Amino acid sequence: MYQAQLIEEQDKELYNNFLNVSLRPHFLQSYEWGELKSGTGWLPLRLLVTKDGVPVAAISLLKRVLPFFNRSILYAPRGPVIGKECDQAGEDFFWREVIKLGKQHGAILLKIDPDIHEPNEAALEWLAEIGFRPAGGDDGFGGVQPRYVFRMDITPSEEDLMAGMASKTRYNVRLASRKGVKVRAGENKDDLRIFYDILKETAERDRFLVRDFSYFDSMYDLFVEGGTARLFLAEYKEEIIAATLAFYCGDRAWYLYGASSNKRRNVMPNYLLQWEMIKWAKSMQCSVYDMRGVPPTEDPDDPLSGLYRFKKGFGGEFTEFIAEHDLCLSPVWYFLWKKLVPIYLKLSHRKKSKQVEME
């Protein structure tokens, strides 16, 4: 018998354990990510469906109440979470419960951007049968979450991974080591503050926005202290000159944030940081390393072309995800939403061009 339940804090281990062994585990669907977003105006709603007590499907929904309206939107970043043994009956029951929950909360729509690669006609047909429709809006990196990334299969040996890099990338990784750059794990909030200061320096140089330190402070508590993320610091002559944050969930790892000082960039700390993160991901038994967002093409006129070349050099595969999809839960309000969304995005400071994070 199928049953649905809303997950509370006492059930987070059950929820996260299922996420870790699901078909497409993602840290954005973790219990902790919902807690992080609860400090930024979102209400997390986590639904778990079981069959005879065994989890088969789940979703972490972020609810945002719209200003001036008694309505909300729901967003499931890189959701839903489908179990390996979930059958058609289980999925049908799951989506009925999701829709019921959405209507109970006065939701206009449910937006998803599942971790499914293009081309995948079967997945698109599956979404259409449920009632989802492409949401449009391919500006920036392609949506709320980056639609275009480089992903690496990190199951080969370290020697083979190094051999698969572009020659210049391989050279720069080794150059950083020869120059004396050392990479270590962050140990405390003092290290986090150093990372944040360098991140602000990077943001000023590259003209993007970053959140307040309190956001990263909460992230550190939830993920780094929780053992599912690590802060990496690159030191040169006893000075920290670059830093990164990486996450993992199930058998996958992600490079989420990177910061580099204006000083000593010639010793190539960012290359060594990536290599150390890849090795860390392998040590956590991950098989996939996701370098996150890049532009859709290697256009030399694109200001992000350097980012594209940097990530490409590590030998990953350019990956395009299917588009964002919306499930309309209130046709009249959804029509108004589509008309007013550009204004709403501007008011809520969610312009996507060159923002450091895709939430």
Domain definitions of the chain by residue range: 2-137+322-347, 148-319
DSSP state of 356: S
Architecture of 2-137+322-347 per CATH?
A: 3-Layer(aba) Sandwich (3.40)
Amino acid at 235: E
- Opening angle at CA 245, ends 244 and 248, nearest 5: 140
**pLDDT of the residue at 68:** 77
Architecture of domain 148-319: 3-Layer(aba) Sandwich (3.40)
Burial of 244 (0-12, 13-18, 19+ CB in 10 A): buried
Contact between 304 and 295 under an 8 Å Cβ cutoff? The reply is yes
- Is residue 354 pLDDT above 90, yes or no? no
State residue 303's pLDDT score. 87
In this structure, what token pair is assigned to residue 330? 């209130």
- 22-79 confidence digits (pLDDT tens): 999 999 999 999 999 999 999 999 999 999 999 999 999 999 998 877 899 999 999 9
Q: Is the model's pLDDT at 355 over the cut of 80?
A: no
What percent of the chain shows pLDDT beyond 90? Answer: 86
Query: What is the predicted pLDDT for the residue at 239?
Result: 97
User: What percent of the chain shows pLDDT beyond 70?
Assistant: 93
What's the mean pLDDT in 85-89? 96
Please provide the average confidence, as pLDDT, over all residues in the chain.
Answer: 93
pLDDT in tens, 177-213: 999 999 999 999 999 999 999 999 999 998 889 999 9
pLDDT at 140: 46
Domains 2-137+322-347 and 148-319 share a fold: yes
Give 355 or 203, the one with higher predicted confidence.
Answer: 203
- Residue-level pLDDT at 357: 40
Give, for 196, the enclosing helix (H) or strand (E): helix 189-206
> Which distant-in-sequence residues (6+ apart) come within 8 Å of 167 by Cβ?
none
pLDDT tens column, 219-264: 999 999 999 999 999 999 999 999 999 999 999 999 999 999 998 9
Bridge partners (DSSP) of residue 73 are 64
At 270-304, the pLDDT tens digits run 999 999 999 999 999 999 999 999 999 999 888 88
